[in-house]
Each structure stands twice: as C-alpha cells, then as structure tokens.
Amino acid sequence: MFKKTLLLSAIIASGMTLSGCVIHVGGDNADHDGANLSSVLGGFDIRDGRVVSDVSTVNGGIDIGNNVTAEDLETVNGGIELGDNVSVRSAEVVNGDIEAGENLRVTEDIETVNGDVLLGRFAEIGDDIETVNGDISLKESVVRGNVETVNGDITLKDNTLVAGDIVYEETHGDWNWDSSVPTLHIDASSKVEGMIILHREVKLDIENDALLGKVKRQYSDE
C-alpha cells in the first residue's frame, strides 16, 4: 500500500540533528532557513513564513505555521499540524494525525499508519492520501491520485474531487486494530473520476447515484 517506509530510527547524518523537547524555528533568527532539521527526542515548531527543507523526528510532533514552505515531513511518534497556506513535498507519520488548515499544497503524497488525515478547505494533493488505521476527511479539495485506507472512514464533501481511485485495502492481522466496519461518505457535490475499489466490507453512504456504478467489490461476503 505504501510507496515509502518511514525509517526515522536511522536519522540521516546530513543536515541538522538535534535532541530535546521542542525546537522552535523562526522569530528573528533565520539561521535554519533552507536547512534539513532532524531530531530523535523532540518535535519541531516552525514559525510563520519560514522556508525549510526536510523535517524529521522519531519521538515528537511537527507543528508548521502559516505560509511555510518545506520539503518532506516525517515523524514516527507524533502528529503533524499544518497552518494555512502551507506548501510541502510530502508528509508521513507512523503514530499520529496529520491535520491542516486551508490552502494546503502537497506535491507528492500524504501517508499515515495509525492516525487520521484531516485537511481544511482548498487542499490540493499531487499524489495519494493513504492511511491504515485512520480516517480521511476532505472538503472542497482536490486529490490527483488515489485515496486509500484499510480500517478508516473516508469523507468527501463540498465539491471535493478525487482524480484517481478510492481504495479500501484488505485487512491483515497486524493492521486490524479496529474490527468495526468503516464508512465511505461522499456527498452529492463531490466526484470520483476513478473507481471505488473495496477489498473488504464497507458501509456506503454515497449521495451521488452515478458513483454507485463505480463500486467494485473484490472480496467474498462469506
């Protein structure tokens, strides 16, 4: 399912390696502009208007202010919070949520294992959004690739467009933390240009009847 694996326990030596509680980047100090930032035991707080490169941490969250530009954001144990008008290349989390304000721009993909993806209005994602045990909520947004999960609810509303497929992957023993049946909700104004591919049981709450013809059930009811 995931194209990349988070291996942040082996932090790349290049760039700036720090440890502590929360590392603040911003204010009048522009020393970190354009830098790679990495930490083992601490998170990052990137202030409004900064420009940084890759940001990675093992045990800590990443808090991105408004009007920030960054490249790859990665954390193992901690969420990623993004303000308004943020541009990044990708965002990946193992244990934690990814939340964003309005006008998020992601060139590539967003991925979580155990966490939700909750995006504000007018997000534009250049590739896929993927979770394992986590919900995905999109409103008035565009996803150029697929929207994929295993155990999470997916909600598309307010003229959201998914250019690729919606995919519910097959459950596996290590992934099935929640035995409940997830729900796919798509309001009447939202569109899926690809297919709706179900490898497991899913509750369908689809207000646009035309989308029901795109549903492909690829699992046994037994």
Would you state the pLDDT for residue 26? 67
In a domain, 8, yes or no: no
- Taking CB atoms within 8 Å and a gap of at least 24, the contacts of 61-67 are 61/96, 64/88, 65/26, 66/101
Residues 159-174 have a mean pLDDT of 90
Q: Tell me: the pLDDT tens digits for 71-122?
A: 999 999 999 999 999 999 999 999 999 999 999 999 999 999 999 999 999 9
13 has pLDDT over 70? no
In a domain, 13, yes or no: no
32 has pLDDT over 70? no
Report the DSSP pairing between strands 183-186 and 154-157: parallel
In a domain, 22, yes or no: no
In a domain, 25, yes or no: no
% of residues, the chain, pLDDT over 90? 75
In a domain, 129, yes or no: yes
In a domain, 75, yes or no: yes
Q: How far is CA 65 from CA 27, 49, 84, 127, in A?
A: 12, 7, 7, 23
The tokens describing 138, both together, are: 């999109």
Residues 40-54 have a mean pLDDT of 92
The pTM (predicted TM-score) of the whole model is 0.86
Would you state the pLDDT for residue 44? 94
15 has pLDDT over 60? no
| Residue 75 domain boundaries | 37-217
**Are 75 and 110 contacting, i.e. CB atoms less than 8 angstroms apart?**
no
In a domain, 177, yes or no: yes
Q: What total number of domains does the chain contain? A: 1
In a domain, 119, yes or no: yes
